[in-house]
Amino acid sequence: MIQDKTKRSTLTPPWRPERSSRRSLLQGSVLLGSAGVLAACGQGSAGSSINAPPASGATPKGTVLFWQWGAGYVDGFAELVKEFNAANTGVTLNFEPGVVSAGTTNYWDKLTAALAGNVGPDVFLMNTNARTWASQGLLRPLDDLIKKDKTAQEQNQATLKAFREWYDMGGKQMGWAWDYSTIITAYNVAQLREAGLKLPSELGDKWDWNTHREYAQKLNRPGSRWGTLAEPSYETGWLNFVRANGGDYFSEDRKRSVLGSPQALEAMEYLVALVQKDRYAPTRADVTAANGKVDMFVNGQLAMGTYGDWSMTDFMKKASSNLEWDVAPVPFKNGKTGNSANLRGMVINAQTKVAEAAFEWMKFALTKPVQDRIPKLVGEVPARLDSAQEVYANPEKAGPPKGRASLKPSILATKALPALDKIAPADFHNISTPLINDAWDGKLPVKEALTRAQDQINALIQQSGT
């Protein structure tokens, strides 16, 4: 369901059984929630000797090792690291882009092994695994570093609120905001104009579920073109509709799954009907046969669909020069859109001895001049709300498409991808994904699929805790 791209990652590490060792203990702790591994890995909590702050008023110095996962991020980070080091602050940042050379999975394998061997990076990029990893003591809290630095406090408050909520673990801040993505409706401008339809980016919240379905009907050409895409992926598809309708994957306190709620059922019934009843949207098998939804769009086989904004780069690379396309938010419901995002942040290794020096790099990354460059450097949304609204949502500053300005409601609607503190994301998605796919394929009624998913996930939560 999640896009397997080296540029970005929402994947949980593929934990594998190994002989009893420090590495296997670490892996087991992340997956199963074993608190006993902390002592075995030599990890301390904030305030312990390995995390002792420098003397009051001292300027942080030292050499810091930074890792991140995305092959598509390497050039952007390399440029920023060079600038940071050129400032000669007393902190030297070592950046190892080779850690992603074998792809996304390789990053998590290497990171797991390095942390287990006490040789991990001092600061590294984190994703939807953050809460699971933080609950095991693998990450260092940032509160003491933020408290004594007025600039850091101002930067922290400048970020999208969703970041502060996401990285808050029992009142401790475990991560530092970096960037995220928007989920977009991409559409073929020529095909809409040919059908006499106003562009979605010009409709505001009138670009709603009813209008979307009406457009899908008018754009549909059986045998040659689908009117829309009903996406079975939770990140780029159905979860955004569920959230626009006031539903969610988990309750707000993350204590239970609410996939069987009326709001979730209504959203899923709407999407599945586009595939199974109306036939305005391709089946999962149709998408696979056509080499995926990106190719379908750039080849004109799909008039519109929801995508991650990272696909905008793919459109520009793959599309012919005569393809005119643009973007709008996920269709609104009662004035609300949805945007489910992998809230990427920087975290500090709980074992590091240079936390203060590492934090200097993190603060640099959250300055407005750096954040303003994120759309062009890495093609993502800056964590700072001012940079997101002034630059990312401005085609004159961030570049095409011109419908970027319509994405401001998406930015404000952003919520983190589903996560629990003690259960790895893959564990509950392995329950819901097959059932939702069966609903998409017409093998199960939507209500049965979602109710079964909810009940099985809640049984897992009862067994493992949240």
Low-confidence ranges of the chain (pLDDT < 50): 1-56, 102-104
**Interatomic CA distance for residues 320 and 310, integer angstroms:** 18
Q: Write out the DSSP string of 64-95.
A: EEEE---GGGHHHHHHHHHHHHHT--SEEEEE
**Interatomic CA distance for residues 275 and 227, integer angstroms:** 11
Domains of the chain: 22-181+342-383 (3.40.190.10), 184-340+418-464 (3.40.190.10)
pLDDT recorded at residue 7 = 42
pLDDT recorded at residue 70 = 86
Q: Which residues of 49-75 are buried (b: 16+ CB within 10 A; e: fewer)?
A: ebbeeeeeeeebebebbbbbbbbbbbe
**Interatomic CA distance for residues 366 and 156, integer angstroms:** 8
pLDDT recorded at residue 105 = 53
| Residues sharing a CB contact under 8 Å with residue 21, sequence separation 6 or more, in sequence order | 116
CA distances from 2 to 11, 75, 98, 233, 289 (A): 7, 24, 23, 7, 19
pLDDT, tens digit (0-9, with 9 covering 90-100), for 47-88: 333 333 444 456 889 999 999 988 889 999 999 999 999 999
pLDDT recorded at residue 43 = 32
| Six token digits for residue 25 | 């203990």
User: 121: cis peptide before it, omega within 30°?
Assistant: no
CA nearest 138: which of 163, 121, 153?
A: 121
**Interatomic CA distance for residues 232 and 440, integer angstroms:** 7
CA nearest 268: which of 254, 287, 293, 249?
A: 249
Strand partners, 62: 91
| Six token digits for residue 296 | 């379908």
pLDDT recorded at residue 109 = 85
Q: Write out the DSSP string of 422-456.
A: SS-HHHHHHHHHHHHHHHHTTSS-HHHHHHHHHHH
CA nearest 250: which of 240, 261, 236?
A: 261
| Residues sharing a CB contact under 8 Å with residue 222, sequence separation 6 or more, in sequence order | 279
Which helix (H) or strand (E) segment holds residue 157: the answer is helix 150-157
pLDDT recorded at residue 100 = 60
Question: Which pTM does this prediction carry?
Answer: 0.87
